[in-house]
Amino acid sequence: MVGLARSGRAAASVLRARGRSVVAFDADRGLDSTGIDAEVRLGDWDDALLDGVSLVVKSPGVPATAEPVAAARARGIPVISEIELGARLLPNPLIGVTGTNGKTTTTALLGAILEAAGWDVEVAGNIGRPLTSLAGEVADETWIVCELSSFQLEDVDTLRPRVAVLTNVEPDHLDRHGTLDAYAAAKLRAFERQGPNDIAVVPRGFPAVPGAARRVEFAGDDELPAEPRIRGHTTARTQPRRRRRRERSAYPTTRSAARWRRSPGSSTASRRSPRSTASSTSTTRRRRTPPQRCARSHPSPAGGSTSSSGGAARPSPTTRLRARSPPATAPISSAKPRPSSPRPSMPQVLPTSRPGPSTWHFRRPRRQPPKVMSSSSHPHARLSTSSRASSTGGRSSAAS
């Protein structure tokens, strides 16, 4: 195993799980090799490490010109990539996505679409999950959507996707591949071993690709056969207006939550909004009750006073003055509402704490005696004294 990054660790682990003897090499001396179940060699390369080796698996980050790869090919030892090892170990149907731009997004979208359709699907490859990590972890019928980079496709021999997708080809990674033709040839290796029952999806007008798959072309201005949607999400415009109103009344907002009522005989607030309460007791919509302080009170047959708005009965001030005990609640009257008018001012009625048969006591405000100020303390004493002295012949008096 050459290269001990994420893909190299996964490949070494799956080979050890199958009983193979693995020698792992990486040129980074400071690499943390904890958890790698293999004979790890770090630092400078030694050709003696290839003694007894029958297969070399390299990570995508290791170029074909690296010293371990060149020494293995000089001895005739086959060199494959981690993607090729995963394709040999997994009998699952594979969807390969490659291209310069958009392959990661396309891979993620294909996985989400198949999962929403109810398929057993896994996403792996260059998107961040090694393909070899799925060996022995998924069922044979599970579909795998694999993102394939040009580095991973350099050393593939048996890779055969059921569906191969090419998003586009533009100049990229020329520092490793050298030319655009070599870069495009590495991308097109995903189509080489496809048969007549496989599908090759390529941009419209793209040249012929290797393999015998059925060709399907696409373009950016193609009309979609159906509008893509996510299950369980609908826009507000698609819902009927009555349904939206009903849902808003079922779940009170902050404004309606502030109007939650308190039950007359309990200390806990009722969890129903006024609209939902009205709909549960009657099928017709009730008009909003005006505030109690704006309604005119009139006496009822029971001796109390009933609000014109149809609310709870309220005793009149006269009844409260006569009563020797706290007034009881009078029954609701069915009298027609009268026009509201301001309530006349009444004397102050206060509960008394003095012992006696009466609980309510009528108290008039106590009159204050007039306040007489002396002539010396009055602010206008000099003015009034001088004016009165001139008019009365010297006699002066000032009072307020």
Domains and CATH numbers, the chain: 1-77 (3.40.50.720), 83-219 (3.40.1190.10)
**What single letter denotes the amino acid at residue 95?**
I
Residue 245 main-chain phi, psi, to 5 deg: -65, -40
157-166, 186-195, 312-321, range with the lowest pLDDT: 312-321
Higher confidence at residue 253 or residue 22?
Answer: 22
Query: What's the confidence (pLDDT) of residue 375?
Result: 55
CA dihedral 327, 328, 334, 336 (to 10 degrees): 20
Name the pLDDT band for 356 (thresholds 50, 70, 90). low
Q: 270: helix, coil or strand?
A: coil
**First-last CA distance in the chain:** 114
59-73, 83-97, 380-394, range with the lowest pLDDT: 380-394
Kindly tell me if the per-residue pLDDT of 273 is higher than 50.
Answer: no
**What single letter denotes the amino acid at residue 101?**
N
Residues 133-138 have a mean pLDDT of 93
Which residue, chain included where needed, has tokens 């009730």? 286
d(CA 369, CA 173): 105
Kindly tell me if the per-residue pLDDT of 268 is higher than 90.
Answer: no
Tokens describing residue 74: 């000089």
d(CA 360, CA 318): 11
Query: What's the confidence (pLDDT) of residue 315?
Result: 54
Which residue, chain included where needed, has tokens 């993620």? 108
Higher confidence at residue 182 or residue 224?
Answer: 182
d(CA 163, CA 117): 17
Q: Apex CA 179: angle with CA 174 and CA 185, to 5°?
A: 100
Contact 100, 169 (CB under 8 A): yes
Q: At what angle do helices 274-281 and 241-250 cross, to 10 degrees?
A: 110
d(CA 190, CA 150): 10
Higher confidence at residue 148 or residue 308?
Answer: 148
Query: What's the confidence (pLDDT) of residue 376?
Result: 56
Contact 7, 86 (CB under 8 A): no
Across the chain, where does the E strand assignment appear?
A: 23-26, 39-42, 56-58, 79-81, 94-98, 121-125, 143-147, 163-166, 199-203, 214-218, 297-299, 305-307, 349-351, 360-362
Name the pLDDT band for 178 (thresholds 50, 70, 90). confident
Query: What's the confidence (pLDDT) of residue 363?
Result: 58
Kindly tell me if the per-residue pLDDT of 129 is higher than 50.
Answer: yes
| Chain centre distance of CA 31 | 39
**What single letter denotes the amino acid at residue 44?**
D
Residue 24 main-chain phi, psi, to 5 deg: -110, 135
Name the pLDDT band for 274 (thresholds 50, 70, 90). very low
Residue 79 main-chain phi, psi, to 5 deg: -120, 125
Name the pLDDT band for 335 (thresholds 50, 70, 90). low
Q: Apex CA 251: angle with CA 249 and CA 254, to 5°?
A: 95
Name the pLDDT band for 59 (thresholds 50, 70, 90). very high
117-126, 174-183, 209-218, 233-242, range with the lowest pLDDT: 233-242
60-74, 115-129, 329-343, range with the lowest pLDDT: 329-343
Kindly tell me if the per-residue pLDDT of 120 is higher than 70.
Answer: yes
Query: What's the confidence (pLDDT) of residue 224?
Result: 75
Query: What's the confidence (pLDDT) of residue 223?
Result: 83
Render pLDDT for 215-255 as a digit per residue (tens, 0 to 9): 999 998 888 776 656 555 454 444 455 555 555 555 444 44
Query: What's the confidence (pLDDT) of residue 389?
Result: 46
Q: Who's near 218: CB < 8 A, 6+ residues apart?
A: 201, 202, 203, 204
Residues 308-329 have a mean pLDDT of 51
Q: If you average pLDDT over every residue of the chain, what do you get?
A: 75
Residues 308-323 have a mean pLDDT of 51
Query: What's the confidence (pLDDT) of residue 236?
Result: 46
